[in-house]
């Protein structure tokens, strides 16, 4: 195995940085009855008049227990989008470093690369939407800091072959980020249980999909304590607000309810796939490990417009490489899916 030196990947300014120390940073006993006159807050209670815990201790301790990691291996953000942005800002020198992404994939990696003035090297997935290990390794050089693997992948829906992922983690000379936004819909195991084996592995998850909380914005990053410590240096202290911490805590404390909803979505997914097989202009239904299904149709632009005019909005992914004439359908409620099928039958 290659030698891994985290220090050589961190930006110089971040190495030197001392994190901003907020008024509440040193204070650990949030539950004790104290008089807080340290942060210039309005003292009249309304539920949100105090600054939130910058370390989100309660939420992290529940997540740590459920996922079998240490709290020091967790960083929380305002959605995964913020977490991913922090990773760019900690490790990628603008106008100098580069990252590798694997289209067709989640559009945010490219946006974040461009926002941070970091070169985005695109290495297409194979026709089966699996990564091509040799192509990826060939495209990386001394300035390649990050490799983004989205598994299950958006918009294709498939999970990546674990042997290929493992080979990439081992051989890639930088940090490998596995975006597991859809992992709770997949029958296959994610990479969290193997986090301790790989010092260059970062796993991101989110409450936006299976947990049904896209509106509160909570993204989760799991990595070695060393990586998390670096990301914490540049994290805005109050990036996860009080309301989000509360609602997220309530939700993660009820894993059974989340599981029941996931089970219903998966049943609906099977029903939708069966019905799609009967639609004459549906040419291919791609295998999916997520809460959506990618289909190839005869004329995607036409079908998209027809669906909209019947009141159903789906995602046209035709502009993505390898995705000519494809539409992505999110699995909705039973009624919503029925409506989709009904419209597909009439157009
Ligand atoms: C939806 C999605 C996310 C979620 O991002 P949030 O900012 O946490 O809402 C992350 N990654 C992928 C691939 C997604 O499709």
DSSP state of 245: H
CA 138 to chain centre: 26
Quote the ligand 1 centre to 304 CA distance (angstroms): 23
Q: Average of pLDDT values for 229-245?
A: 97
The yes-or-no verdict on residue 264 having pLDDT over 60 is yes
Interval between CA 337 and ligand 1 midpoint (Å): 22
For ligand 1, mutation pick of 77, 83, 112, 209 (most atoms within 8 Å of CB): 209
Name the DSSP class of 204: E
* Residue 1 lies inside a defined structural domain of this protein: no
Total domains, the chain: 2
pLDDT of 20 reads 79
| Residue to substitute in 81, 102, 190, 294 for testing ligand 1 pocket (most ligand atoms within 8 angstroms of CB) | 81
Pocket of ligand 1 from Cβ distances under 6 Å = 79-81, 106, 150, 154, 179, 181, 206, 208-209, 214, 219
For ligand 1, atom 14, the nearest C-alpha belongs to 181
Q: Stretch 136-161: mean pLDDT, rounded?
A: 98
Q: Where does the pLDDT of residue 310 fall: very low under 50, low under 70, confident under 90, or very high at 90 and above?
A: very high
Shared domain for 186 and 291, answered yes or no, is no
User: Which of these three, 249, 282, 298, is where a domain ends?
Assistant: 249
Kindly give the distance from the C-alpha atom of residue 128 to the centroid of ligand 1, in angstroms, as a whole number: 22
Q: Give yes or no for residue 1 having a pLDDT over 60.
A: no
Burial 181-192 (b: 16+ CB within 10 A, else e): bbbbbbeeebbb
Q: Per-residue pLDDT averaged across 130-146, rounded?
A: 98
CATH code at position 272: 3.90.1150.10
Looking at the fold, whether 244 and 260 belong to one and the same domain comes out as no
Asked whether residue 193 falls in the same domain as residue 263, the answer is no
- Give residue 217 CA to ligand 1 midpoint distance, Å: 10
199 lies in the same domain as 290: no
* pLDDT for res 19: 80
């227990």: which residue's tokens? 65
pLDDT of 33: 81
pLDDT, tens only, 103-126: 999 999 999 999 999 999 999 999
| Whether the predicted model's global pTM rises above the 0.85 cut | yes
Domain span holding position 96: 6-249
Give mean pLDDT, residues 260-283: 98
Residue 2: what pLDDT? 62
Q: Supply the pLDDT for residue 298.
A: 98
Task: Say which residue the tokens 């989640």 belong to.
Answer: 106
Find where tokens 């990696």 sit: 109
Cα–ligand 1 centroid distance for 32 (angstroms): 36
Q: Cβ atoms within 10 A of the Cβ of 151, count?
A: 28
For residue 94, pLDDT over 60 is answered with yes
Residue 312's pLDDT is 98
pLDDT at residue 24, rounded to an integer:
74
Q: Please check whether residues 52 and 163 belong to one and the same domain.
A: yes
CB 314 within 8 A of CB 336: no
> What is the whole-number distance in angstroms between the Cα of residue 182 and the centre of ligand 1?
8
- What's the pLDDT at 18? 86
What is the C-alpha separation between 234 and 275, in angstroms, rounded? 48
pLDDT at site 23:
74
pLDDT of residue 347: 93
Do 245 and 265 fall into the same domain?
Answer: no
* 148 and 269 part of one domain: no
- Say whether both 98 and 236 belong to one domain: yes
- Burial code of 84-122, b = ≥16 C-beta within 10 A, e = fewer? bbbbbbbbbbeeebbbbbbbbbbebbbebbeebebbbbb
């Amino acid at each position: 195995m290659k030698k891994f030196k985290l220090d050589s990947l961190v930006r110089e300014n971040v190495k030197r940085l001392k994190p901003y120390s907020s008024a509440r940073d040193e204070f650990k006993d949030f539950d004790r009855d104290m008089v807080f006159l340290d942060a210039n807050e309005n003292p009249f209670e309304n539920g949100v008049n105090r600054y939130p815990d910058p370390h989100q201790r309660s939420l992290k301790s529940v997540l740590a227990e459920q996922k079998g990691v240490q709290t020091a291996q967790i960083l929380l953000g305002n959605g995964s989008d913020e977490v991913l942005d922090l990773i760019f800002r900690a490790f990628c020198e603008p106008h100098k470093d580069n990252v590798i992404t694997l289209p067709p994939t989640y559009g945010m990696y490219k946006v974040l690369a461009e926002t941070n003035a970091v070169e985005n090297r695109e290495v297409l997935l194979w026709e089966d939407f699996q990564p091509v290990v040799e192509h990826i390794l060939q495209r990386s050089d001394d300035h390649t800091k990050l490799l983004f693997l989205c598994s299950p992948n958006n918009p294709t829906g498939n999970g990546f072959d674990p042997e290929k992922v493992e080979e990439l983690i081992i051989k890639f000379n930088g940090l490998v980020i596995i975006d597991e936004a859809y992992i709770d819909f997949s029958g296959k195991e994610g990479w969290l249980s193997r986090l301790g084996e790989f010092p260059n592995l970062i796993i991101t998850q989110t409450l936006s999909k299976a947990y049904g909380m896209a509106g509160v914005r909570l993204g989760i990053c799991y990595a070695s304590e060393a990586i998390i410590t670096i990301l914490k240096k540049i994290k805005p202290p109050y990036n996860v607000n009080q309301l989000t911490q509360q609602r997220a805590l309530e939700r993660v404390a009820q894993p059974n309810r989340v599981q029941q909803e996931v089970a219903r979505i998966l049943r609906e997914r099977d029903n939708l796939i069966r019905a799609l097989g009967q639609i004459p202009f549906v040419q291919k239904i791609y295998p999916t490990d997520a809460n959506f299904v990618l289909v190839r149709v005869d004329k995607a632009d036409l079908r998209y417009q027809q669906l909209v005019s019947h009141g159903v909005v789906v995602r046209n992914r035709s502009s993505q490489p390898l995705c000519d004439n494809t539409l992505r359908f999110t699995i909705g409620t039973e009624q919503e899916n029925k409506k989709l099928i009904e419209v597909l039958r009439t157009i």
